[in-house]
Each structure stands twice: as C-alpha cells, then as structure tokens.
Structure 1
C-alpha cells in the first residue's frame, strides 16, 4: 500500500493517538481529529469515529474477562437519549452556541476536579456522565471527557477498559447518526483502510510499553486532556462565528 507524504503524516498521527488512548482511555479523538482535519477534512468525522471504535473492540476483547459491565451499563444506556438530545440541539441551536456552552461547562468541571472536587462512581453519576458524553459527542465530536472525569481517580487499567466498553457500544450510535444525516460516503472507507495500520501499530507500541507503565490513576493526564478538550470546543465556537 503506497502512501503520499500527507498520508504518511496522518498515519503517524493516528498511531500516536491510538497509543495515547490505549494508555489513558481518552485522547484519540481530541488529538487526531483536528490534526487530520488540517491535512484532509474528509478524515473527520467518519474515519476518526471508525478507527476509535476499532481500538475499543481490541481493548475490550483483550480485557473482556475483567470488565465490570454491570457498572458501565447505565452510562451506555444513558448515551442513547444523550445522543438524541444532541441531534435535537443541532437543529435548534447554532453549532457555535453549542460549542461555547459545552466548552464552558467542561472547563468549569475540569477546574472543580483540579480543586479536588471529584464524583464517586455511582449508578446516578454513570447515567449523568453517559448522557452528557452522548450529548457532547454528537454536537462537538468530543465525548470522552465526561466519562474520564468520573473515572479520574480509578486504577488506570480499570478506567481505560470500562471507558473502552462504553465507547464500544456508544460509538456505533454516533456512526449511525453520521450515516443517517450525510450518507455512507462520509465514512470514507479508503481512508480508513490506509489508517488501519496506525491502529494496529499504536496497540503494538502500547503492548511494548505496558510493562513499564504503572497501574495507578492518571488523574493529571486526564485533567489536562479534559482542559484541552474544553479549549478545543470553545475554539470550535469561535471559528463558527467567523
């Protein structure tokens, strides 16, 4: 398979993004989507969604025996009405207004977490996080931070695996909404096939580094990524104004 210089750069970005998400549990969409959009707008959102979902499949298959599906199930269920509300908001409120709203809310939530105000993982909080993840994922393409903030003090592997299980079921819903609104051509299967080695390469690199990575929580990394997500969503709103 031959790659142009821009495709080779995109492949490197995908590989690094997959490595980051395999370690922390979030970060692939945040890092990869804006950079790939600068290289070729057709990479977003279809190929990015599919590639992220493939990683979730791999992570869940590797850790399926240790997953607490009962704990993450309420968030999975709550993502459906959250995504539906996101669709309704998209047709009733301008995208820049939504970006300002969710960017500000996420920034405040990250600041409160940094000030040591953290939520415990309960069924109620899972429902709230899953709902807002679906809402934000549908309206801004960044749905990971609400779940990551809830898991920020958990063991790194537990957080990563359960967030992967959440996206395993939730991402196909987002893909279905993309297909329903814009058609199958938006998935851009040729791009997906060319970027697939980046997913496999990122997972392979992580498997080499996993033996030296600790299992303690990566709270600092989660908060930094969440803050960057908030800034990115706010920037989306500012760009929408122009």
Structure 2
C-alpha cells in the first residue's frame, strides 16, 4: 500500500491497541501491530515495529524499574544475542513464513501444557532458551514476547512488566543495530516507526486501569491468552504471506 497517510492511521490504531495490551500484561505490541503493519507496508518491517518496541518499555521502566529481575534478565540476554543474529539471517536468506509457523506451533504447545498446570521452571536454562527464541522471532518478525512471557507467567505483575520492559529495550536496540548492519533498516522504516510513537504513548496512558485490574491475580491468565493469540497471529500471518 502506497497511501502513507492511510498506512499511518491504520497502523497507529493497531499500535494504540498494542500499547494498551503491553502496558497491562508486559508484552503484546508485536501481536497487534506487527501483522497490521506488515500487511499495509511490508517494506518497513520489521524495523518500524522495533522502533516502537524500543520506546514503549521506557514508559514502563519509568515507574516500575525497581522490580526488574536482573539475574533472570542476564540469562535472557545471554540467549538473545545469538538469537538476534539468526533472526537477521532469516530475514536475509531464509523463509520468515516457515519460521513463523514453527515458532507459533511451539508457543501453542507451551501454552497448552502450562495451562494444564505444568509449570515452566524459571531458571538459567529456560531463561536463556526463551531469550534465544525471542531473539530469532523478534528480529525476524517483530513478535518476540511470548517465550519470555511464558517463563515469567507465575511472577507478580510489576516484576513481569519491569523485567520484560528492560529486556525489550535492550533487545529491540540490539535488533535495530543488527538490521542496520545487514542493510535491512531503510530510512522509511525509521520514519514510520517515529510516526507511530504518538499513538503508542496514548495507548500506554490508557493502559493504567488494565494494569490495576490484572495485578489483582489475573496476570497469569492474561499472559497465556496473549501468548496463544500471538502464536495464532504469527501462524496466520506466515501462511498468508
């Protein structure tokens, strides 16, 4: 689609809704916004969403940074770095569609297992693996939250949001640098991403009541729902591409 104003309006609405979801749960921007932006203007992806992914968590950290799980974050970032390079390789050389279907199915299986009270332990191995998978899918498609969300599903809301926010700030910055290095970050991507910051801020502001509602013992259910929908969207987006 070449009608830039229409692209920005529709994409802005998707980013607004995505910011509400991520502001409450801790992730979900990619779930809502990435498929919409990809459909409207695939040439700006995944760079445009990575600009938003880098900026939105800063607002969460402004109020909840004291709740960051620094030890867990370190393990996740350890896996995220090599995953980002593989994600960039996928963007340049491999079918992103095949990757999307595979990862989507794996996330659905994980959601199904954990919903039946099979807990995913939160340790160095699972956090590193989650960071690795998030690095691949986040860099290649802009949807990198579900693996981390599943590992942190039993944590308290503020800790989930703060830890994922710090993870997304660092990982999105990493992805932007790597995309630039492999010449997959055109100026148009940065321009569209910058234009989407205003609806992103508005969505985060609106998410306040949702955060308070979910912190009343409903965070785990919300994470499983958002992760499952993310997986279905990723599969659908991949099959239709």
Instruction: Give the TM-score taking structure 2 as reference length.
Output: 0.86
Q: Matched residues in 1 for 2:63 and 2:92: separation? A: 39
Superposed counterparts of 1:1-242, under 5 Å: 4=5, 6-88=7-89, 93-186=94-187, 188-207=189-208, 210-211=211-212, 214-240=215-241
Structure 1 position 67, deviation (Å): 2.1
Unpaired runs of 5+ residues, structure 1, are none
Structure 1 residues 4 and 163: CA distance shift in structure 2, 3 A: same
- 1:154-212 C-alpha deviation (Å, 9 max, x unpaired): 21121111111111111111112222223542553332332221122122222465555
Counterpart secondary structure, 1:119: coil
CA-based RMSD of the aligned residues comes to 2.5
Could you tell me whether the CA contact under 8 Å between 2:23 and 2:208 is conserved in 1? no
Q: CA deviation at 1:93?
A: 4.5
Query: 8 Å contact 2:23–2:211 — kept in the other structure?
Result: no
Larger Rg: 1
TM-score by length of 1: 0.86
State the alpha-carbon separation in 2 of the partners of residues 88 and 52 from structure 1.
20
SS at 1:188 equivalent? helix
Deviates more, 1:173-182 or 1:140-149: 173-182
Pair 5,103 (structure 1): closer, same or farther in 2 beyond 3 Å = closer
TM-fit CA distance, 1:123: 1.9
Q: 1:128 to 1:195 in 2, by over 3 A?
A: same
Deviation at 1:43, TM superposition (A): 4.7
Runs of 4 or more consecutive aligned structure 1 residues displaced over 6 Å after TM superposition: none
Q: Does the CA-based 8 Å contact 2:46-2:139 persist in structure 1?
A: no
Contact 1:154 1:216 in 2 (8 A): no
Give 5+ residue unaligned stretches, structure 2.
Answer: none
Q: How many residues align?
A: 238
Q: 1:222 is paired with a residue of what secondary structure? A: helix
